[in-house]
Amino acid sequence: MDKKKTVNINMKEYGMVLALIAVFLIFAAMTGGKNMSPANINNLIMQNSYIVILAVGMLLCVLTGNIDLGVGSIVAVCGAAVGIMIVDYKASMWVAILAALAIGTLSGMFVGFFVSKLSIPPFIVTLATMLMGRGLTYTLLKAQTKGPLPTDYTYIGAGFLPTVKIPFGKGTLDIVSIGVALAAFALIIFSEIRSIRTKKKYGFPVTPLWQSVLKVGVILVIVWFFFYKLSRYNGIPFVLVIMGALVALYHFITSKTVAGRQIYALGGNAKAAKLSGINTGKVFFWVYTNMGILCAIAGIVLSARNASATPKAGDQFEMDAIASCYIGGAATTGGVGTIIGAVVGAFIMGILNNGMSLYGWSTDIQKIVKGAVLLGAVTIDLLSKRKK
């Protein structure tokens, strides 16, 4: 009985990861392995980095039972700020980055103020910031693209960590990437062993050994696959470092801190959370302020990758970020969802986009497929819960 239960839990937690692998393999078959090329793996990471960054922040909003519609527009405003500072005012890149972060934070606080102090529904407030932000971007940029941005700056979005390349097969192999992969291996195995140990020490139920081994095995294979492919290309992209750090940080916040637990509690039952001593207004304020900061980071990464600020930047990013959270198992009612889930959701969307482009489907068709996948994923998730 007990053993059976652990199997079920595992399946549910890792179902999305399996779906991710399945989608990837399907496109590998359809494109004859084109999507597995080192260059494409690198592209996948670079193209989806800003969606992952936004999805991480969006998940917190989704956990409260709400969404943020203004994300794409704030990304554009922050990008525009960088462009104007550097190109028009010849400001240093660091000043420009700080300005973008400040603007993102302020816009987040703006939303947070209306939501927490005046109790205006976030849907309305962020619908307003979506319109206002886009309008502001067009006004600031006079509806034109601002560029080019200096290479020091574009490094953030398009650069790579230093590499040590050795000849390997028909190309080269970056030792740094391989080293990072091996370090990641050690870390993953170490943390799994530590978690099993503490569980045993306190007499908590542990998952059967073969399951732990299988789980770690799958994770190691995925990590190895990615880093090997990167090592065959240009090494580790800088955005991967930003993304990895943010994902790790927010995973920690949501799973291990009081603040994280308060967000889940608020989403699960706001009234009960309030009567448990949680300042729900404050939680809302910081969740939306945080979203603003992450919008700024995404805006910086995006403008760096494009080497310019464009008025259309970030268009409909909010939809991708929201969809990522829901595909990753978050509940529309709030209180349910994980950072890892949202990241996996973002990559499922990314792999779909990328695979369909490689296969030659137009962006119009891609939208249809993405919509269907979102609907399908949430339907399956809800139906499986209902059966229980």
Residues that bind other proteins (CB under 8 A): 5, 198, 202, 204-205, 256-261, 264-265, 268-269, 271-279, 331, 335-336
- Cβ pair 335, 93 in contact under 8 A: no
Residue 40 neighbours by CB under 8 Å, 6+ apart = 34, 354, 358
- Cβ pair 248, 188 in contact under 8 A: no
Cβ 23 to other proteins shortest distance, Å: 28
- Cβ pair 17, 344 in contact under 8 A: yes
- The tokens of 219 are what? 């994770």
- Cβ pair 79, 100 in contact under 8 A: yes
- Cβ pair 66, 122 in contact under 8 A: yes
Return the axis-axis angle of helices 258-268 and 280-306, rounded to nearest 10°: 110
d(CA 235, CA 177): 6
Between 22 and 197, whose beta carbon lies closer to other proteins? 197
- Cβ pair 240, 45 in contact under 8 A: yes
Cβ 63 to other proteins shortest distance, Å: 12
Between 33 and 194, whose beta carbon lies closer to other proteins? 194
Cβ 251 to other proteins shortest distance, Å: 13
- What burial class does residue 22 get, using C-beta atoms within 10 Å of its C-beta: 0-12 exposed, 13-18 middle, 19+ buried? exposed
Task: Output the 3-class SS for 213-254.
Answer: HHHHHHHHHHHHHHHHHHHHCCCCEHHHHHHHHHHHHHHHHH
- At residue 186, what is the residue type? A
d(CA 252, CA 215): 20
Cβ 315 to other proteins shortest distance, Å: 34
d(CA 3, CA 6): 5
- Token look-up 């509690």 returns 265
Between 23 and 330, whose beta carbon lies closer to other proteins? 330
Cβ 1 to other proteins shortest distance, Å: 9
Q: Of all helices (H) and strands (E), which one includes residue 311?
A: none
Between 263 and 344, whose beta carbon lies closer to other proteins? 263
Cβ 386 to other proteins shortest distance, Å: 13
Between 37 and 211, whose beta carbon lies closer to other proteins? 211
Between 260 and 311, whose beta carbon lies closer to other proteins? 260
Cβ 262 to other proteins shortest distance, Å: 8
Between 256 and 379, whose beta carbon lies closer to other proteins? 256
Cβ 276 to other proteins shortest distance, Å: 4
Between 2 and 88, whose beta carbon lies closer to other proteins? 2
d(CA 251, CA 188): 15
Between 181 and 325, whose beta carbon lies closer to other proteins? 325
Between 282 and 316, whose beta carbon lies closer to other proteins? 282
Contacts of residues 7-12 at CB distance under 8 Å and 24 or more positions apart, as own/partner, are 7/211, 10/207, 10/211, 10/215, 12/384
